[in-house]
Amino acid sequence: MTMCGIVGLFLKKEDLRPQLGDLLTDMLITMTDRGPDSAGIAIYGDEAPGLKMTIQSDTPEETFAGLDEALAAALGAAVPLRVADTHAVLTLPEGTEAAARAFMAEKGIRVMGTGHAMEIFKEVGLPKDVAARFGLRSMGGSHGIGHTRMATESAVTTLGAHPFSTGDDQCLVHNGSLSNHNHMRRSLTQKGFPPSTENDTEVAACYISSRLAEGVSLGEALEGTLDDLDGFFTFVVGTKNGFGVVRDPIACKPAVMAETDDYVAFGSEYRAFANLPGIEDARVWEPEPATVYFWER
């Protein structure tokens, strides 16, 4: 893909948490002309007592009707369910993820992501419409990342939209294209992190998840992309504790960052920051090529 818009916001102050969805939505909408065909957002909100699983269906009324009862019967425990347009967020009892995934696969329901804090919402359409459908403005949390997509290499579908999540509370958005994704796809599949779509971005997400599973830090995992992934890329990665940014050594994809005492923000362009509180006093810089930046709680 060529254009695409990426945004990210990491809040340092608790009192800003209720505004996260509102601020991220404004950032996403300003990037519409960089990616008008689909949009997505990952929000890190309050931790659930179990594991949150975000699912998606093209026929939500039919699919989600009675789903909580059917799952409760299959898993032997109550499964709270919250529907948001074509997506729903389930709260699974600990230890039931594998059974729940098998249940979803059997019913043809797509799993968008899992985590104790993360919820993912993504659909085809203009960012403002996608945000409205899911009620993103009303969502609170500690941090989040978003993406507006202009597809050039793969189809415009819900599954092709970003963020991609390939591990609990992990997700990634990407502007650029990877040239060695077929080779990486094979090696990641051997490691137990098989990409499920043809999208090169999901390969990068699987790579980060595979490294985190090996016990390296988010910063080290991001550093590894510089050695192991070929192509043009700006990645923004979310984990339960924070978010990180890395650009390839040539850094031809635009990126800008802003930091105040209240937050750290990332955008493909400076105008993404226009509605952030106190932006006029922020330290603003362009992230250096082949340099990892990350913030964690």
What are φ and ψ of residue 102, in 5° steps?
Answer: -65, -40
How is 113-145 classified by DSSP, letter by letter?
A: EEESSEEEEEEES-HHHHHHHHTGGG---SEEE
Catalytic residue, chosen from 4, 171, 206, 252, is 4
Helix axes 218-228, 200-213, angle to 10 degrees: 130
- For 150, half-sphere exposure in the C-beta direction (CA atoms, 13 angstrom radius) is 13
Question: Please, are residues 235 and 289 in contact by the beta-carbon 8 Å criterion?
Answer: no
d(CA 163, CA 42): 7
Angle subtended at Cα 20 by Cα 277 and Cα 293, rounded to the nearest 5 degrees: 80
Rounded to whole angstroms, how far apart are CA atoms 282 and 261?
8
Q: Are 257 and 265 in contact (CB under 8 A)?
A: yes
Give the residue from 55, 157, 51 showing the smallest Cα distance to 103: 55
Which one-letter DSSP state was computed for residue 288?
P
- Phi, psi at residue 139, to the nearest 5°? -85, 135
Residue 206 annotated among the catalytic residues of the structure: no
Q: Which residues pair with 258 in a beta bridge?
A: 265, 284
Q: With CA atoms as reference, report the closest residue to 132 among 84, 182, 196.
A: 84
Rounded Cα gap, residues 54 and 276, in angstroms: 28
Active site residues: 4
